[in-house]
Structure 1
């Protein structure tokens, strides 16, 4: 059969015997190249595949895993697989109890560090001063927080003694002085020059910051001019007992660090690189060893840091 095919090729193209043999070999190789993908696919296809039931089980498992990652904005699974809501005092709650409440590990570390430094929660809203404690978690746990909604009147009265104040008469009515770190947008909107947008912006900046520790920080809120800042200073105060939210620099990753208004992404990246090369910080002042952190920047961010 082959010699007939060679003879046909030789007579048709006028080739020699050697040329004919070469032509046949080349033709054979071309056929293999053309049909190789189809042949290989047929060879590597498994004879036994997953059953329909097994495929359904695998798809279901994948969907559950994906949903658990999507349910947390930080792509961080809760330390506990089961959330159990019950009354709790954040001043005495253990790590395991916090985990059962569905809090993220980074938030739990910040709370425990805050307590280890002598910090104390006096009312429900104090939890919002913890760096990374989200409003959605606060709303979810609100009814279970074993703390008063507001401070006792005698405590508020003692704070007011630190600042003399007479009610300011504006076109929005009389304004009583308030704690800038515990106020809401309703109180802020009573101040002339502050509307819905600015009031929300002040609250958002305060929460990201971890709370105001100085009236000079009012100027850092985008959109507040000097006149509005002056009015805000007249009717607000910062409690001398206030403890700002703390960010644990030895535990926080680059994303957590860069969320703070005083820490840029580049600075956060360098801080993490420094820890990887030199180990954990022994004291906060070690941050000054990083060349891009000058004394001014360090003094601004220091109140919001802990080891």
Structure 2
């Protein structure tokens, strides 16, 4: 019995080789299915992802086209509404000098736009030609073109009499201006207001900036005053002179960082750097030694050196 049972599980050498070979083949098929099968779905997944991306790009392009059409529609609608608004204004002839905020608003300006103009006048600004009105940034070009024919000012100066008188309101008392020349290094604020084109605001700022600097070297330094424009300097050029005075200088071997930073050309970092180098290396022997600071390049040095001294 034992012998016959054993016969069922006995294999010859060739049969054993066949079983081993078949087992290896089965194992290889299992491994192939386990590893290789993972690659093909990923490839299909990648292709699917690319298709989805292309679809999204196409949808985005369609959305952008729709937005562009809506933008064009909104712009046309805005232009139409804007045009209708300007057409609804009851325009009237006016002189812009000393015109009230209420009348500016009747001419289509908002209260904020009108206040910009009144601030300009409060600082000494005046309208002498239509072009002066055109330069106001609170009035758009389209709005100006509609106002131009109603402005009671010349397009440009045609003669001396026109230059002196045409910009004044016909109902206002005309003020006769004499040509006054003032030295910006010596005049006080009251004296500067005698110059045609300088109001009390800019007169005070000119003096204030001069005191902070230690004296003016050039008229172009007036442009460092907030809202003092190139065109304003050009108009005032013949009425302002600049004398050579002894500038007030700061001694870099004695002054504190707090005092240095008060100068318009020296910020806190530069002031602190100047004092720190002095404390580490001793007194400066010459102004060029200030370049030891990495914060002071050639352009900054040229700007500040006139207002500094080492003795």
Q: Same fold (TM over 0.5)?
A: no
- Give the helix-richer structure, 1 or 2: 2
Which interval holds the TM-score relative to the shorter structure? 0.3 to 0.5
Larger radius of gyration: 2
Normalized against structure 2, the TM-score is what?
Answer: 0.42
Normalized against structure 1, the TM-score is what?
Answer: 0.43
